[in-house]
Structure 1
């Protein structure tokens, strides 16, 4: 075999093979599809976790805002009392009482003037349960949200009602 003969065979093969075979193309396409599928799954799992974290963060923010509103109402009341799972707030202007309670449409409200007043202010929506429990000069508020998260906070009772001041 001469060198020219081998050289001729190599040149001939170079001229014939100018593209890829179907099998080579199928292998490349299947590898790209497998890699893309893994990336899509990873991104969708990340997006789901991110969405859950955003929802929890938003819920936590609104519950903390509700606790801040309750605390502000307690601080600005002449005195407070806990009665029938409600926070009873005596106004400084001596024009009656306000009530913080669970309303029938799964929200916490401030009811102005009477416990069943039509004048309401929503504090927090989407609750499953709202409980108020008094122990000495402290009362505990627990809010159970519809999504199952439970939030608790305690508040000091600085001013109590006098015995001659009845509601």
Structure 2
């Protein structure tokens, strides 16, 4: 009995390893993306100390909030300084014997907005007129704005008109 000769086979290529150059490219792209995100966050402006769209008046603060440079609902708020809250004013009136204490500090104001762009400043648009309650009045409305427009809050009391600084997108 004869033993067959061993078969000779062609040598296989070695097991394939990941290309180190491809890994280096992936790592470089990931590091560059993280640096870009970090640089963007570092250059972003800090949050303002006061809310944007507010202006300090002699006896209070006038604010306008909304999606500046876009259509949406805008809210004008006027808050008087030094006016006691509703409950405190009512109790102070009861103690002093004056039932009108809560209404004594109330004033009637007209709140709205004004828009502008590089060509024109529009006439004020009004949300309405209301009497302050507890030293505060809030009125809202829908405003249609173009992306290049700025907006500011407007308040009218009697013959005097008050405005905030312009807020631009």
Query: Which TM-score applies when normalising by structure 1?
Result: 0.28
Q: Which has the higher contact order (CA 8 A, sep 6+)?
A: 2
Query: Which TM-score applies when normalising by structure 2?
Result: 0.28
